[in-house]
């Protein structure tokens, strides 16, 4: 088991897969992180040496991930709401924020857009 | 205060049209039985007609005896005119019944000649030329439906021998350079639909998924290669029916495959005949199978057995299952014996017709 | 009065399989304790009961729905094969088939008949010691049909004889003659087999053989890489990268294939201090072994080894064959990214750069090998990447082979508005010594010998006549050897 940013990963798991489990890291960010530390695509978590793990954890620490990111998004929406903007209102009404039509396809907006997002 | 609305003016402004007193014709026509009105001379007049102009009824209008309409005072036909003239001059009148050709008319009427259409003028001029019976033949093609056989003065062309002199090919037939190939000597695989062995083709088609024949053929290639490489089946298993000695089977993988499939192929299938026993129970009736059907059953069993194997490649799974069947293992043998047992126990259900042959649908 | 039920977990409300026993527990736990938390007491009592009644069904640790009917059907998932087994299966090389007939008149290929021209178009067998070496340096490939025949044998074609003669020439030349070959040809035209034959002949002549069986491994981002730390004075314009694991694999292949030869080689030069080797007694084998055992030492070990092989010294050095297959993959951008997410070009990898520099050596540069040898690089026909600059390079080589001068008007040049790969264009200055070997279909004699081998091995059960041979050659695109091999094992009715 390898400990990265407070999470234990089994050694046989690919690094790209482990990284993408964090909220806030998708394929693009993951590629950049891996290139930054010269990690190749088929590398497993078990192949990391201690310094690489520390470097990776330090880098991930500096990023806004998981709850920090959630809180940030939450605050952003709340700010929009508090300043009384249209976007804030749309968030609160569970409606699309960026001027989409609302006649038919707004399932995702209904589901996701809300003042208390998470 | 006077009332705002003047009743009189409004009454005047209303469009008041009394209905026409004349009964419309349509109404009359709609009466089913002949009414006395119909016998009267009908006034053909619709509602849109101008009422002030009464139509002149022909029967009732008085006509002056000298009155002539615009069409009534016409000259007689040229033939009649000529006839009358000839009669008075004592010549032979033309036959009025037959009518006169225009050319004749034009011949005697100079004035009309000048005003005649261009085509007629040409034909008159042509008439002056000596050979007027046949067309000039300026057209490059013939419009006649039949070719004038007598016209060709060159005589009939005889096509007897197309061979050029000095190019004699004695082996070939008449008129050919090369002899026809001996088709009887061709292998049957020369037909592109029958390129492959019957069994190989059937297995390939059974391996095919989603219509990917090429992929199936690749797999079949690999299966045959695996049969080639695997050790020969142990001689202890006498289940494999083949003419070849066992140690030669891997070298001829097609025969190997055929032997495996034909050995494990069932003889019959059990048809569940409904509605004979009654009570909703079906009667199992063993039905003999054709050769291709027997093979199909065997192939399906082998493929089903291969699906239970854990190898990653399809070709590996199938070839291992085939080898297992060759050794006498494999589920296909169990299924075969079970089926045959069922068929034996249900053989009383096979009905033989009066003719001594099995009944309808159970042809051997 | 406090509740007898835990307000948090409400565990008393649980419905049990066995109401009577749970009632009994409840009775036991209820009487003495008026607890805030009943959970711990429950657990305690449960354990008591469990210990008392051994055959009772064990209570589950957490609350679960009690309806047995709704229980999810557990699928027994079969155990996957052990790690690495499937890969090993995929890469396994089988060199014999006991079912195939033995070909009685099969001669062995040896140093004696290596250059005999009468062998052209004959199959010659490979014997035991050579096979092990070839297997160790990964010369065989799974796509080749070694597993169909009783024993491995290879077709001697005219190009093979030519290669053998060149090896002889290098052997006899006193100077540092290096022969450079770039083998191209259509798919399945025998490029990799020619590489294998070159390696076989090198082993026969006790050469040192380095083989890279798949050049694509260096560029497809599946192996470790690290930036090379350069001293300031020799800093290049661009960052270079080393590939420790690939270097290790290269050294491993070299170690196993050339072990007996490496044992006899002593050091000519001093090696870096940080390598844990005994100065003086160590042989080159120890050096290679060190690199092969640990990937952290792989790159310095390779550098030390290369210095020994390329710089002449007191002890003489063997001649060296370097074989690289599917070299096209080295002619463009790789799948790797640098730390600032820029695409790394294949030529930025040290090993790639080094090997390509050997082949396309600039005119006037010092000879790359201390005692001469051969460079045998081949392109790939089935997995060709689209690198137009390399296509241009090949065209230029063809034009040179036809005697066209680079300044002549018909000489192929980059398209005017294209952006050719500058790294690849740099190689053009070193085209002079490279010999382009274009493999075409086999000749009639060669294809006859090849198909006869199939007939004698019992794979092709059909008499080989002139007509059928012509048919095979026509179907195989004019005798392309891989296609002939496919036809040889095709079963016909």
Please give the pLDDT value at position B209.
95
C491–chain B nearest CA distance, Å: 7
For the stretch C66-113, pLDDT in tens is 555 566 677 777 788 888 888 898 899 999 999 999 999 899 999 998
CA–CA gap between residue A24 and residue C341 (Å, rounded): 19
Q: How many residues does chain A have?
A: 118
Mutation for testing the B interface, residue in C99, C142, C486 having most B CBs under 10 Å:
C99
Which chain A residue shows the shortest CA-CA distance from C223?
Answer: A40
Least confident of A39-48, B143-152, C80-89: B143-152
- pLDDT tens digits, C308-367: 998 888 888 899 999 999 999 999 999 999 999 999 999 999 999 999 999 998 877 777
Same domain, A81 and A105: yes
Q: What is the pLDDT of residues B291-308, one digit of tens each?
A: 999 999 999 999 999 999
C222 contacts in chain A (CB < 8 Å): 40-42
Q: Between chain B and chain C, how many beta carbons pairs sit less than 8 Å apart?
A: 42
How confident is the model at residue C13, as a pLDDT? 44
Q: Which residue of B197, B232, B253 is in closest CB contact with C493?
A: B197
pLDDT band at C157 (very low <50, low <70, confident <90, very high): very high
Judged against a pLDDT cut of 50, whether residue B132 lies above it is answered with no
Q: How confident is the model at residue C208 (pLDDT cuts 50, 70, 90)?
A: very high
Residue B119 — pLDDT band, cuts 50, 70, 90? Answer: confident
Q: A73 and A49, same structural domain?
A: no
Structure tokens at C214: 């798949």
The pLDDT of residue C198: 96
- Mean pLDDT value across residues B30-35: 45
* Shortest distance, CA C160 to any CA of chain A (angstroms): 38
Q: Are residues A50 and A81 in the same domain?
A: no
- Asked which of A60-64, A79-83, B46-50 is least confident by mean pLDDT, the reply is B46-50
Chain position carrying tokens 């291992």 = B320
pLDDT on residue C313: 85
C481 burial (CB, 10 Å; 0-12 / 13-18 / 19+) is buried
Q: Could you tell me the residue ranges of all domains in chain B? A: 198-349
pLDDT of the residue at B26: 45
Q: Domain B198-349: state its class.
A: mainly alpha
Question: Residue A117 falls within a domain, yes or no?
Answer: no
Task: List C-alpha distances in Å: C379 to B25, C188, C376, C396.
Answer: 101, 11, 10, 16
- Structural domain for A92, as ranges: 67-112
Task: Give the pLDDT confidence score for residue B36 in this predicted structure.
Answer: 46
Q: What chain C residue is nearest to B253 in terms of C-alpha separation?
A: C491
Q: Any idea which of A20-34, B345-359, C25-39 has the lowest mean pLDDT? A: C25-39
Domains in chain A, number: 2
Give C-chain residues touching A31 at CB under 8 angstroms: 337, 341
* Position C457 confidence tier, pLDDT thresholds 50, 70, 90: very high
Residue with tokens 């085209």: C431
Looking at every residue in chain A, the average pLDDT score rounds to 89
Is the Cβ of C161 closer than 8 Å to some Cβ of chain B?
no
Distance (Å) from the alpha carbon of A37 to chain C's nearest alpha carbon: 7
What pLDDT is attached to residue C230? 77
Q: Does B232 touch chain C (CB under 8 A)?
A: yes
Instruction: Label residue B45 by pLDDT band (50, 70, 90).
Output: low
Q: pLDDT value at position B248?
A: 86
- Residue C58 predicted with pLDDT over 60: no
pLDDT at B18 over 90: no
Together in a domain, A31 and A77: no
Residue B233 forms contact with C (CB below 8 Å): no
Residues with Cβ within 8 Å of B356's Cβ and at least 6 positions away in sequence, in order, are: none
pLDDT digits (tens, 9 = 90+) for C363-403: 777 778 888 899 999 999 999 999 999 999 999 999 999 98
Mean pLDDT of C238-244: 93
Highest mean pLDDT (candidates B31-40, B276-285, C40-49, C228-237): B276-285
Pick from C99, C461, C493: CB nearest B189: C493
Model pLDDT for residues A65-117, shown as the tens digit of each residue: 888 999 998 899 889 888 989 998 888 888 898 988 888 888 888 888 877 77
Q: Is C413 on the interface with B (CB under 8 A)?
A: no
Average pLDDT, chain B: 74
| Chain C stretch 91-130, residues whose beta carbon is closer than 8 A to a beta carbon of chain B | 94, 97-101
Weakest mean pLDDT among B158-172, C6-20, C449-463? C6-20
ipTM attached to this prediction: 0.85
CB burial string C268-286: b at 16+ within 10 A, e below: beebeeebebeeeebebbb
Hey, is the C-beta of C88 within 8 angstroms of any chain B C-beta?
A: no
Residue C217 has pLDDT above 90, yes or no: yes
Taking the Cβ of residue C86 and every Cβ of chain A, the question of whether any pair is shorter than 8 Å is answered with no
pTM: 0.71
Give the pLDDT band of residue C195 (cuts 50, 70, 90): very high
Q: Which residues of C touch A41 (CB under 8 A)?
A: 221-222, 335
Q: What is the mean pLDDT of residues B162-184?
A: 67
Residue A36: how many CB atoms within 10 A of its CB? 16
DSSP H or E stretch at residue C437:
strand C435-439
Nearest CA distance, C223 vs chain A (angstrom): 6
pLDDT at B364 over 70: no
Could you tell me which residues are beta bridge partners of residue C208? C320
**B349, pLDDT greater than 50:** yes
């Amino acid at each position: 088991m390898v400990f990265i940013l407070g999470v234990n990963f089994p050694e046989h798991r690919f690094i790209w897969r482990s990284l993408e489990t964090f909220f806030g890291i998708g394929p693009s960010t993951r590629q950049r992180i891996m290139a930054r530390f010269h990690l190749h695509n088929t590398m497993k978590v078990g192949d990391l040496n201690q310094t690489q793990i520390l470097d990776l954890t330090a880098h991930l620490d500096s990023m806004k991930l998981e709850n920090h990111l959630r809180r940030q998004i939450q605050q952003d929406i709340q700010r929009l709401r508090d300043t009384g903007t249209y976007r804030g209102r749309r968030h609160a009404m569970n409606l699309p924020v960026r001027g989409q039509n609302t006649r038919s396809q707004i399932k995702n907006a209904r589901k996701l857009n809300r003042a208390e997002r998470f | 205060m006077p009332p705002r609305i003047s009743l009189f003016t409004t009454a005047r402004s209303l469009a008041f049209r009394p209905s026409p007193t004349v009964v419309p014709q349509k109404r009359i026509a709609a009466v089913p039985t002949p009414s006395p009105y119909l016998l009267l001379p009908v006034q053909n007049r619709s509602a849109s007609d101008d009422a002030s102009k009464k139509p002149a009824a022909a029967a009732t209008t008085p006509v002056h005896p000298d009155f002539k309409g615009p069409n009534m005072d016409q000259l007689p036909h040229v033939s009649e005119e000529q006839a009358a003239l000839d009669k008075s001059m004592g010549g032979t009148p033309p036959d009025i019944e037959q009518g006169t050709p225009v050319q004749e008319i034009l011949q005697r009427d100079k004035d009309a000649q000048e005003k005649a259409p261009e085509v007629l003028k040409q034909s008159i001029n042509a008439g002056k030329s000596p050979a007027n019976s046949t067309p000039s033949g300026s057209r490059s093609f013939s419009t006649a439906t039949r070719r004038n056989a007598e016209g060709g003065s060159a005589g009939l062309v005889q096509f007897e021998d197309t061979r050029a002199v000095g190019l004699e090919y004695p082996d070939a037939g008449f008129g050919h350079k090369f002899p026809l190939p001996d088709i009887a000597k061709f292998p049957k695989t020369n037909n592109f639909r029958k390129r492959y062995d019957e069994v190989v083709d059937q297995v390939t088609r059974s391996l095919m998924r989603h219509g990917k024949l090429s992929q199936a053929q690749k797999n079949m290639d690999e299966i045959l290669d695996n049969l080639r490489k695997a050790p020969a089946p142990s001689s202890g298993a006498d289940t494999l029916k083949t003419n070849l000695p066992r140690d030669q089977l891997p070298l001829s993988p097609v025969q190997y495959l055929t032997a495996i499939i034909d050995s494990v192929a069932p003889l019959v299938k059990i048809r569940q005949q409904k509605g004979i026993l009654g009570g909703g129970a079906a009667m199992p009736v063993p039905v003999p199978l054709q050769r291709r059907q027997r093979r199909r059953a065997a192939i399906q069993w082998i493929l089903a057995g291969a699906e239970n194997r854990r190898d990653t490649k399809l070709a590996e799974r199938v070839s291992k299952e085939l080898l297992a069947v060759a050794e006498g293992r494999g589920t296909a043998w169990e299924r075969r014996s079970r089926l045959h047992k069922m068929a034996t126990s249900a053989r009383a259900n096979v009905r033989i017709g009066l003719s001594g042959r099995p009944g309808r649908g159970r042809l051997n | 009065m406090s509740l007898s039920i835990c307000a948090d977990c409400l565990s008393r409300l649980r419905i049990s399989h066995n109401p009577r026993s749970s009632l009994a527990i409840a009775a036991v736990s209820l009487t003495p304790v008026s607890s805030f938390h009943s959970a711990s007491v429950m657990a305690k009592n449960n354990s008591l009961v469990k210990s008392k009644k051994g055959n009772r069904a064990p209570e589950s640790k957490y609350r679960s729905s009690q309806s047995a009917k709704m229980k999810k059907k557990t699928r027994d998932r079969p155990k996957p094969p052990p790690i690495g087994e499937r890969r090993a299966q995929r890469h396994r090389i089988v060199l014999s088939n006991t079912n195939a007939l033995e070909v009685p008149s099969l001669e062995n290929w040896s140093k004696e008949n290596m250059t005999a021209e009468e062998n052209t178009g004959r199959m010659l067998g490979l014997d035991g010691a050579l096979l092990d070496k070839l297997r160790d340096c990964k010369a065989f490939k799974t796509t080749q049909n070694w597993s169909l025949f009783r024993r491995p044998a290879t077709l001697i074609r005219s190009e093979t004889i030519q290669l053998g003669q060149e090896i002889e020439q290098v052997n006899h030349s006193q100077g540092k003659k290096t022969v450079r070959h770039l083998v191209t040809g259509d798919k399945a035209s025998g490029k990799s087999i020619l590489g294998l034959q070159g390696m076989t002949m090198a082993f026969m002549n006790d050469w040192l053989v380095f083989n890279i069986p798949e050049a694509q491994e260096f560029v497809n981002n599946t192996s470790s890489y690290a930036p090379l730390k350069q001293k300031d004075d020799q800093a290049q314009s661009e960052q270079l990268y080393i590939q420790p694991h690939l270097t290790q694999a290269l050294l491993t292949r070299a170690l196993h294939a050339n072990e007996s030869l490496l044992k006899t080689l002593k050091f000519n030069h001093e090696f870096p201090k940080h390598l844990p080797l005994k100065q003086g007694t160590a042989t080159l084998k120890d050096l290679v072994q060190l690199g092969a055992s640990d990937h952290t030492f792989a790159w310095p070990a390779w550098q030390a080894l290369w210095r020994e092989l390329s710089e002449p010294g007191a002890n003489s050095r063997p001649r060296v064959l370097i074989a690289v297959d599917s070299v096209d993959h080295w002619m463009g951008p790789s799948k790797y990214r640098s730390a600032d997410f820029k695409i790394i070009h294949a030529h930025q990898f040290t090993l790639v750069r080094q090997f390509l520099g050997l082949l396309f050596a600039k005119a006037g540069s010092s000879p790359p090998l201390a005692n001469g040898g051969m460079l045998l690089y081949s392109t790939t026909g089935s997995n060709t990447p689209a690198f137009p600059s390399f296509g241009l390079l090949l065209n230029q080589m063809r034009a040179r082979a036809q005697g066209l001068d680079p300044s002549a008007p018909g000489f192929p040049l980059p398209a005017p508005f294209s952006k050719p790969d500058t790294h690849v264009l740099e190689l053009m200055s070193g085209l002079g010594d490279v010999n382009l070997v274009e493999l075409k279909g086999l000749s009639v004699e060669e294809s006859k010998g090849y198909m006869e081998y199939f007939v004698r091995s019992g794979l092709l059960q059909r008499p080989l006549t002139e007509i059928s041979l012509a048919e095979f050659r026509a179907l195989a695109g004019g005798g392309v050897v891989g296609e002939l091999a496919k036809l040889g094992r095709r079963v016909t009715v």
